[in-house]
Amino acid sequence: MSLRGEVCVVTGAGGFLGKRLVRLLLEEEKLAEIRLLDKLIHPQLLQTLEDCRGDTTLSVCEGDIRDADFLRKSCRGASIVFHIASIIDVNDSVEYREIYGVNVKGTQLLLEACIQENVVSFIYTSTIEVMGPNSKGDPIINGSEDMKYQCTLKFAYSRTKQEAEQRTLQANGEVLHNGGRLATCALRPMYIYGEGCRFLLGHMGDGIKNKNILYRMSKPEAKVNPVYVGNVAMAHLQAARSLKDPQKRNAIGGKFYFISDDTPHVSYSDFNHVVMSPLGFHIQEKLMYPLYLLYLVCFMMKMLCMMVRPVVRIVPPLNRQLVTMLNTPFSFSYQKAKNDLGYSPRFTWEEARERTVEWLASELPKERQRIRAK
């Protein structure tokens, strides 16, 4: 099902995944207009899209996702919204009020704007972290959408993303002002890597400081399945096509889908090594410290931060939930997305790795220079 002639809104269009999705939409579909919604859109982004823009109008919508009037204006006349924008925070460094305001309130206001402005399709970018892992580190291997998993989410990020996802799915079938109905679905990607991934840059920077040796924060047996950014973008496009198809719309509306690809299952730390070893990086053989000691250090840092909280807010660089996440086998299948959405990875693991390594190689001199300058 083609999106030809449609007007779509992409929130977080200036970000890692948002930029990739906008380019894919331009390359794959003859849309009438794409509205790039973000706090700030750099003019350079529009310049990089000129080679594939064709006759599609690119409109910049700069503003705050917590501004209801701004959202209504941005959605007016649109038929599809890709809601990617959110605050990503795995260290609990962002104040809860701020992250809740963007991740939950912003999503709710956007859904209301869609209802008021008769937007018929809404695709929400969720995260694997709405599943866990739980504090006991219970593993999931090749999990599916139908499985049950007991988890009390600890991160403000995962809690707010879970609530926003629930609100999105509950809005499926809401009556629009013109009498039509809103169809929604949510995509839960694994850890997303590829060109522009700031987490990979951070790990590379740490490795440079450590004489080209990457830190090991994950046990080798704690296998996960990262997903390439180009394949996540493709999943979003397939979801939009499916929601437009009258025969599929009711079947997938109100549902969530795990998004992975054929990237090998490895631990987070070993994945860093896989994409950075061609650049001369090595990795520690064992964990920096035994897990029990890491948990003890996390507890002590948490107590210390709580003691000084009345005077100053300090965010510890490591916490118990992050250590658990890095050391829990946690992988999921994309079979349901394949069956329902027609999703299949566009990029093979070999292509994804090659593109990621080439990008990291281009960034390596700048990272070395930046670290030397400190």
Neighbouring C-beta atoms of residue 339, cutoff 10 Å: 10
From the list 157, 228, 257, 343, the catalytic residue is 157
DSSP secondary structure, 165-233, as one string: HHHHHHTTTPBPTTS-B-EEEEEEE-SEESTT-HHHHHHHHHHHHTTSEE---S-TT--B--EEHHHHH
According to DSSP, residue 346 is labeled S
Closest listed residue to residue 353, CA positions, set 188, 204, 194, 244: 194
Whether residue 157 lies in the annotated active site: yes
DSSP at 55? T
> If you ran DSSP here, which 8-state letter would residue 266 be given?
B
Torsion over CA: 334, 339, 340, 343 (sign): positive
Pure H helices in the chain: 16-28, 43-48, 50-53, 68-75, 96-100, 106-116, 156-170, 198-209, 229-244, 246-252, 268-276, 291-308, 320-326, 335-341, 349-373
State CA 364 to chain mean position distance.
24
User: Tokens in use for 310?
Assistant: 């009345």
Q: How far apart are CA 297 and CA 299, in angstroms?
A: 5
Signed CA dihedral, 162, 89, 34, 241: sign only: negative
124 close to 259: Cβ distance less than 8 angstroms:
no
- Residues with catalytic annotation? 157
